[in-house]
Amino acid sequence: MKTGESTQLQRVIGYFHGTIFLFSIIIGAGIFIAPKGVLKYTSLNVGVSLIIWAACAIVSMIAALSYAELGTTFPISGAQFYFLKRSLGSIIAFFYLWISLFSTPAGLAARGLLLAGYILQPFFPGCFVPEMPKKCLALAILWCLGILNARGVKEVAWFQTITTLVKMAVLCFISVTGIVLLIRGRKENVARFENAFDAEVPDALQIAEAFLQGLYAYSGWGVLVQIAGELKNPSENINKCVVTALTLVAVIYLLVNISYIAVLTPKEIMSSDLILLINYVGFINWLELGLMMIGLLKLRYQEPNLHRPYRVRLPLVFGTMAMSFFLVLTPTIKSPTMSHIYAFLFIFSGLLFYLPFGHFNLNCTYFNKITCFLQLLLNVSPADDINDYISEEGR
């Protein structure tokens, strides 16, 4: 790059690759884990669990369409931070980064370990996979994906397309197997759907936790906002990609869950780890989403003339906020645990860094050197003139 040139990302992802990318991000290990948690918190009520899965698809669609206004109004990568800083102030934006600094790598590590466990399990039949081989393979997977991302967006898009086809093949095989068993009408398979609502009906706390489990399988629908600076025509493509991808995911998830229940008993499906971890991840994600919706409403009031290529309808925003409050407050109020206290202590511990370096603008040469070193090492840099860039997109 020559001196004086502006730094901007290239817009190379269109509707097709954007949909494939979003579809691939959403469909992952969650569909193999979340059904266990949904059944657990619905008291093994098959009918209610299937309703929860369908409702999770609707909730995710509403939230994604509400969230899309961020990416279309601020079509830059890292739009969440810029949006929160502009709408709710620097401290809220800092807390978002503080949480993401730890939760994002932790989520990637968990998914890497889960994938490594699935790959190695056939080599250890009848017993648990040893931790050391699993961690080494997970680390190798993450390194390979990191190198691939460093090569460019197009390579990542094609890799996502290939992996999506593989995922589709596996999930279609599972779905077809269950459907065939139901069509054949084998008594033990069909019996699980007869009197599906006879089990105990879950209370509000259980429903909230069941939603957190189901929504985990749909998580990732906001990734297009994170890469809005690399999308062609983001004001149209974000919404189109979201609707297309989530509709396909919802259909597949329902078919897969029906197949699970047709082949396995609810108690067999529930034999897992990781249920508690999913609750924590969902708690943090929906807390952040609630703040995003508050910021969206505040910015509508503060800057009514701001160019918004796409304006989400207010009932969808209020619906997303209501769901966020329900999922965050219900477990906290009805069944508070030390884990919730630890989560809030961790969040507010960020003040130890924000007050000296953010609020009082304490300059630290050591941190500046670390920032420059990481930018050179990872080949990244912030975009120039963000406000001017947004204005140009609106013209």
Q: Which of 284, 305, 342 is nearest to 98 (CA)?
A: 284
Amino acid letter, 258: I
CA–CA separation, 293 and 270 (whole Å)? 34
Token code pair at residue 383? 């975009």
Highest mean pLDDT of the ranges 64-68, 106-110, 171-175, 258-262: 64-68
The per-residue pLDDT for range 62-121, each reduced to its tens digit, is: 998 888 888 778 877 677 888 888 889 888 888 888 888 877 777 777 778 877 887 888
Token code pair at residue 128? 């648990």
Four-point Cα dihedral 297, 299, 305, 306, nearest 10: -120
Q: Where are the domains of the chain?
A: 15-345
Instruction: Write down the architecture of domain 15-345 according to CATH.
Output: Up-down Bundle (1.20)
- Is residue 194's pLDDT more than 80? no
CA–CA separation, 158 and 146 (whole Å)? 15
The per-residue pLDDT for range 370-380, each reduced to its tens digit, is: 888 888 877 66
Amino acid letter, 14: G
Token code pair at residue 197? 């609502």
Q: What is the DSSP letter of 13?
A: B
Q: What are the start-end ranges of the H helices in 74-130?
A: 79-87, 90-120
Q: Which of 13-27, 46-60, 84-98 has the lowest mean pLDDT?
A: 13-27
